[in-house]
């Protein structure tokens, strides 16, 4: 068992224990595939043990771990797009329609992330403070709600002031409704 430092940028996150070896992967009716397996364990138990598999048994265990770390942000992005934007639950009738909508939804994810990053400090602080536990960074769901809130407040509340018959809601009630709608939509 070896130990390796985990790093994010210039920050060292601690030691991880690594164990590796080779094995074969068997599947009924398919040829046997040699694999390199890597087991990761955090002695301080900040994450559960992980098993990584690679179909190139010549690769070094640290290289496989580096690939896993590099891919993690992409996996998180795919999960968020599935959970909040409906990728994989699309109701189109043809493969061509699915092939068109998936890039559009990934583009929408990027637009929401960019709009969320451009929100002013007050809007970003409100997002991360809305949770019942401390977050260092807002999730995609938080960012999506904040972007909705910003768009709706600029769009809807400006329009409602033009009618003489309109009675404005008290600010606390308006804020509560906007919060509920932005997070529920």
pLDDT at 14: 67
Q: If you write DSSP's letter for every residue of 21-37 in order, what string do you get? A: EEEEE--TTS--EEEEE
pLDDT at 2: 53
Q: Which of 24-38, 102-116, 125-139, 155-169 is predicted least confidently?
A: 155-169
Q: Report the pLDDT averaged over residues 130-148.
A: 75
Q: 40 pLDDT band (50/70/90 cuts)?
A: very high
Residue boundaries of the structural domains of the chain: 2-85, 121-184
pLDDT at 12: 44
Q: Could you tell me if 15 and 5 are in contact, meaning their C-beta atoms sit under 8 angstroms apart?
A: yes
Q: Of 160 and 124, which is predicted with more confidence?
A: 124
pLDDT at 179 over 70: yes
């Amino acid at each position: 068992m070896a130990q390796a430092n985990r790093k994010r940028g210039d920050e060292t996150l601690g030691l991880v224990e690594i164990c590796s070896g080779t094995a074969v992967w068997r599947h009924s009716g398919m040829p046997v595939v040699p694999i390199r397996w890597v087991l990761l364990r955090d002695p301080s138990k900040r994450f559960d043990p992980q098993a990584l598999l690679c179909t190139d048994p010549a690769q070094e265990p640290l290289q496989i771990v580096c690939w896993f770390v590099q891919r993690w942000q992409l996996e998180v992005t795919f999960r968020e797009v599935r959970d909040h934007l409906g990728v994989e639950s699309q109701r189109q009738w043809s493969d061509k329609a699915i092939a068109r909508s998936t890039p559009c939804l990934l583009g929408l994810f990027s637009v929401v992330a960019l709009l969320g990053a451009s929100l002013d400090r007050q809007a970003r602080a409100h997002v991360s403070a809305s949770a019942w536990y401390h977050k260092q960074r807002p999730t995609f769901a938080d960012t999506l709600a904040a972007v909705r809130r910003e768009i709706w407040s600029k769009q809807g509340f400006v329009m409602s002031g033009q009618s003489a018959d309109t009675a404005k809601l008290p600010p606390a009630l308006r804020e509560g409704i906007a919060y509920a709608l932005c997070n529920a939509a």
